Amino acid sequence: MKSAQPRRSAQQGVSLIITLVMLVVVTLITVSSLRSTTLNERMAGNSRDRQRAFQAAEAAVRLCVDQLNLGTYTGTKSTPAASGLRQKWDVDSNWTDTTSTAVTTGVTLYADPRCLVENLGGAGDYRVTGRAVGGSADTVVMLQATVTH
């Protein structure tokens, strides 16, 4: 009488190969999940940093506009650049010198927000540009408002 059990030599190694394949699949799924989570964390951090910079730039514009309206603005009121030239608010060096005014917002940023006021030529017509840098030097937000008295 023959035994109903399969031969031992035919079964050797099959379970090891199946286990290794399953381990590779689980590892690939885990690595993919980690990459996705890391990417989502970075996107959320960048979004938060931009929001902070946006709010600081908005606060700078509002403060300078309020000071213009009250007549208490003590910073430089420059004139816009001639047609065809880069505007003053578009030149990086104008955000670190006396052309712009530093504004304190109480929010920790890479640098204090600043505003630049340009007299547009009319009696009481001004362009106010606010610029803020978020938690890193790569996050820069600029906002503009036009004020007419």
Q: What is the pLDDT of residues 9-57, one digit of tens each?
A: 556 678 888 999 999 999 999 999 999 999 999 999 999 999 999 999 9
Q: For residues 6 and 12, give the distance between their C-alpha atoms in angstroms, rounded to a whole number.
A: 11
Stated pTM of the model: 0.74
CB contact at 8 A, 114 and 95: yes
Each domain of the chain, given as residue ranges in start order, spans: 10-148
Closest to 63 measured CA to CA, from 12, 128, 17, 7: 128
Closest to 118 measured CA to CA, from 126, 107, 108: 126
Q: For residues 20 and 18, give the distance between their C-alpha atoms in angstroms, rounded to a whole number.
A: 5
Give Cα separations from 63 to 41, 72, 102, 115 (angstroms): 33, 11, 11, 9
Per-residue pLDDT band for 123 (boundaries 50, 70, 90) equals: confident
Highest average pLDDT, of 4-18, 49-63, 106-120, comes from 49-63
Q: Is 125 left (phi over 0), alpha (psi -120 to 50) or beta?
A: beta
